[in-house]
Amino acid sequence: MVVPDAYEFVDELPRTSTGKFLKTALREKFAVRDWSGLAAQEYFMFKHHTAEIGDVRLHYVTVGNGPQAICLLHGWPQTWWEWRRVMPALAEHFTVVAPDMRGLGDSSCPAGGYDKRNVANDIWRLMHDTLGHQRFFLAGHDWGGPVAYALAHAHGEAVTRLAILDVVVPFGSADALTWGGKRWHHGFHWVQDLPEALVAGRERMYLSWFYSNLAYNPAAITPEDINEYVRAYSQPGVLRAGFEFYRATPTDIAHNNENKKIPLAMPVLALGGSGGKGRGLQVLENMRELASDVRGGEIAECGHWLPEEQPEAVVREMLAFFCETS
């Protein structure tokens, strides 16, 4: 008898129109993952689900059953996986939900809809309509930050506290977002079609550059982690969807210029990495332009990848903030 090393619970198995199991689809979904060592243990700690939300099928993971929910939004070039070292500690206090945003990870890849207001609506419909959370906490890293801001602005009655990690929400112009051109990839990703043509087949080389060069501690994102990210971004349509997050920047700026007229009222935590290529105090300064109750600062010895480079510090800051009673 063969005893499996791990199990994964899924909402449904792929089938043909006649009801037969699509074994090929199952193999494609799971066989390319590196299930060795800690990666498998971490992956199967969480429950995996899918939800049909308008034109997109969202993949999301959950852990914990606390009385309050917290939604964690990832960035590029990552997936829900970036939160894996933070989620168990948060799950001791909250019901934790970590989706793959539209087009990314194991969510489906619609042709359009990548402006952050629309992506935020996907998350709102998941949290409120599908999962039934009337009020919840929200955190976003990298592109997850502007999505979280858009959601908080649209549904301030539901988002009770907001955390933004190592990203600036663009308004006025893209200068702050691109760090005056230091974040060269923004301009490259804005170009139509060319990034897809140059990166396809070279996903590992391209994505690994960011994990290494935007980190204070590049070893924090392990080869197993890179395997998972490369698997996700090598799927059909995902590279293009990731670049579309960048190409939506002009629309995002127009939306944020409008939103900025009404500052966020809920408490906001703004954190940036202090070393390497982290944004440092830029995050705090940026959010003070957009919200009336902002606190935060820097995570020491940390680059851009806060939840992976300094998970203990992120957990400590988040618990102090989200568990605050006043």
Distance CA 232, CA 274 (A): 29
Based on the residue annotation, tell me whether 166 is a catalytic residue of this protein: no
Q: Which of 59, 141, 189, 304 is catalytic?
A: 304
Token pair in block for residue 167: 């990203």
Q: Rounded to 5 degrees, what are φ and ψ at 314?
A: -65, -45
* Pairing between β-strand 56-63 and β-strand 94-99 as defined by DSSP bridges: antiparallel
Asked about 246 being catalytic, the answer comes back as: yes
- Residue (of 246, 97, 88, 108) closest to 174 by Cα position: 246
φ/ψ bin of 208: left (φ > 0), alpha (ψ from -120 to 50), beta (otherwise)? alpha
- Residue 304 bears catalytic tag: yes
Find the catalytic residue in 233, 246, 252, 255: 246
Contact 302, 274 (CB under 8 A): yes
**Percent helix, percent strand, percent coil in the chain, to nearest 5:** 40, 20, 40
- Spell 67-92 as b/e; 16+ CB within 10 A means b: eebbbbbbbbbbbbbbbbbbbbbbbe
Q: Which residue in the list 106, 122, 142, 166 is annotated as catalytic?
A: 142
Structure tokens at 324: 């605050």
Sequence-separated (6 or more) residues with CB below 8 Å from residue 165: 139, 140, 141, 142, 144, 145, 271, 272, 283, 306, 307, 314
- Strands 294-299 and 268-273, by their bridges, are parallel
Catalytic positions: 142, 246, 304
